[in-house]
Structure 1
């Protein structure tokens, strides 16, 4: 039997057991993987619900324009609803969101307006303020306002909570979820606690958000607020979707730990998830000592990793922020105290090259024409040529020159270097910040990985 449109595929996402990462946790840990929704995130649920409620209340009329401030995922859900139902979409977002999110929103017909992140919520430049202004200026428009629109949490009370209860056969003891707009954690928690008040609900927050302190003290402390890199959760105000009475604990996670855990989930569990999934599981790992053998924990994995390919799944991006502790070409060079690169010119003789190799105990030498590499010679290659023709030692390097070594960036990870060094190609070159060349050989790579 077919479905009438894409909106009918929202919900009923799988609950998948985690194994490797949580092997030291005595409890059963399950992931509610909501990137199986058509828009690749859990936000599809509440986006559709907000539209349906607005239609029912007469706030969204045929041919109207949906306006929303979104980190990307809610916008995708709203855009899908707009495609099917015939609405226009304008979304405001922040400049810290990934380019992939913005491109995807544009692909499904939305107009995207990028606003600065590091401004107060009531600043006229903030993505909240811009969205409110657009609603006033555009006729027949409706601002969904996922933060204060209670249809947000209603969606999860009606769908996410019941699904988890049914999928765990009522055995769930802990519900773990990152805290953003408050809709997912509050709506789901409200339903689950109606079934069993003893279920523990743990909210995962990010440093730089004020939600954790508000939960603990009831105080909105703007001194808690500072810029953070994590996407999709954490807030600089308290959305009306929150009902803190159904939440038992708030746990904060660093930007770095959340990003690294997301990459681990992909590599070790085969689940290609977004930033919030990494932070959610990292928060659980920080609380693992509170769990017992018979506990059944459900973590929300909100969205798909494709939205973060240029960020947390990009080695360069991770290294620039100090998130990725990997050895690089630069580390190898620094470890040997920047030894001078030994080179030869094409006009040098083979005998001269052999003497250099003996003197410096090296087996790979770049051939330079002036300051630029034009080829290479290797101990193995020279040995074969001299063995077959002893007189070749008087010939110039030009006659025995081999293919130039690959030239890479100075901060290229060691793992990448290993794939570039082959039987035929024994080394890799890179320029440092001053423009000087350095060499890394197969031996260097092996040595660095052994340390």
Structure 2
């Protein structure tokens, strides 16, 4: 509680974030686009709201007591909100993270005193080391452990029905016509959207922003590079369970946004609007700009920007990372397009049989030195192959019958991580960074786009008409 302008604790600062009008990114649009800067919460993200609501609800229910440990599986932001609350309220905090989250998030959690356990990101939902399964087990094993479980905790959407929705309605004077929000656990869009629809008598349109491969809008479920949004489905997952925090009935439609559009919009927000945010914010703004096109001057589109770009300085705001992953390449000759003919890379998946892989190798011939083994994709050919490259099978050895194994059994994935380069790197940069590697997997927008040999990288580029 505040007294004479002094807050009782940092938790009293959660919520009441400002709305800001976009000016340069909206050039040519009649509708106004407003963004809600959730990174101005004290923990740096919209997840401060749900984290605090879940903790307070658990205290009221007697689930959290002195000495308790708050446990959660998260991509980082909810963990930060919970760790912040734990630090203020005197609880311990244990956070389970996938090993793909930005390093800045890990450092922030450690600064708050959280215990961190990291696990692989590319595991099926039923695997015991999956983020949520591991968090559930650790909460049960830890004396006084309480699992926040944001995905199914009703306090998650309730936080946004109680705070975020009313704030937007008041800040716009009831003039909001469209809400745009990413869908991760679904709590933000469900709670905020439900409130705005109710208070407006159904006048507000709720638009979800979703990565292009997320299953929420019917994507193939393969990996995407925008953190804290979307729904990934491992190909070995038996039952695709959606969060109870997400009510699809609240959402009127979903805009599917490719990773490149999200990432480049994120960078434009910093460079043109002075708003430094993460990739899920770029996702939301890209969807908001699409939504605003064709609307009149009486429309007010509000997009929720979940977190700060300071949590992603090593990713979306790093020129080096963007070039290595092939997101930033428009200002340079394309490393891949100049060296191989236009065609889709031929891939296999871990369940491909040795016989099928051998037949593919015969078809490929000298066009590819290896058959990449990818986690996601429709075997044997998938133009936008999965971003999780697990290994590679040597094409000449396959063609010569030198790969041992049962022809009708699944292939054995060779050990060792394949070497990758990005379409945005120069030849000199790629060669210097991959010294000793003969085969290079080329990434565009973080996904496998082709395969080059070291020799082909140094060869004269193709002459195209």
TM-score by length of 2: 0.69
Structure 1 residues 63 and 198: alpha-carbon distance in aligned structure 2, compared to 1, 3 A threshold: same
* Secondary structure, aligned partner of 2:265: helix
Q: Report the counterpart of residue 223 of structure 2 in structure 1.
A: 227
Aligned to 1:299: 303
What's 2:39 paired with? 35
- Which residue in 1 is equivalent to 2:214? 209
Summarize the alignment of residues 67-216 of structure 1 with structure 2, pairs less than 5 Å apart: 67-196=71-200, 197-213=202-218
Aligned partner of 1:49 among 53, 56, 80: 53
Indicate the residue corresponding to 2:428 in structure 1. Answer: 410
1:289 is displaced (CA, Å) by 3.2
User: Among residues 302, 313, 329, which one is paired with 1:309 in the alignment?
Assistant: 313
* Structure 1 gaps, min length 5: 214-222, 336-407, 413-432, 438-451
Alpha-carbon contact 1:330-1:410 (below 8 Å) kept: no
Cα deviation, 1:42-72, whole Å, max 9, x if unaligned, reads 1001100000000001111111000001111
1:215-254 maps to which residues of 2 (within 5 A)? 224-236=220-232, 237-254=241-258
Question: Is the contact between residue 288 and residue 301 of structure 2 (CA under 8 Å) also seen in structure 1?
Answer: no
SS at 1:67's partner residue?
strand
**CA-atom RMSD in angstroms:** 2.2
Tell me, in whole angstroms, the C-alpha distance in 2 between the residues paired with 1:17 and 1:286. 16
Partners of 1:288 and 1:161 in 2: CA distance: 20
Which runs of no fewer than 5 residues in structure 2 stay unpaired?
233-240, 340-425, 431-453, 459-465
SS at match of 2:28: coil
Once the 2 structures are TM-superposed, how far is the Cα of residue 113 of structure 1 from its aligned partner?
A: 1.0
- 1:8 maps to 2:4: no
2:220 and 2:334 map into 1 onto residues whose CA distance is: 37
Separation in structure 2 between the aligned mates of residue 20 and residue 175 of structure 1, nearest angstrom: 20
User: Would the aligned equivalents of 1:96 and 1:229 in 2 still touch at CA under 8 Å?
Assistant: no
* Deviation digits for residues 342-369 of structure 1 (CA, Å, limit 9, x no counterpart): xxxxxxxxxxxxxxxxxxxxxxxxxxxx
Q: Is contact 1:117-1:126 (8 Å) kept? A: yes
Structural mapping, 1:425-444, within 5 Å? none
Partners of 2:427 and 2:66 in 1: how far apart? 54
Equivalent pairs counted in the alignment come to: 333
TM-score of the superposition, structure 1-length normalised? 0.71
Q: 1:29 to 1:330 in 2, by over 3 A?
A: closer
Aligned to 2:403: none
Offset of residue 302 of structure 1? 0.7
Shift of 1:298: 0.4
Question: If you compute each CA radius of gyration, which structure gives the higher value, 1 or 2?
Answer: 1
The structure with the largest helix share of the pair is 1
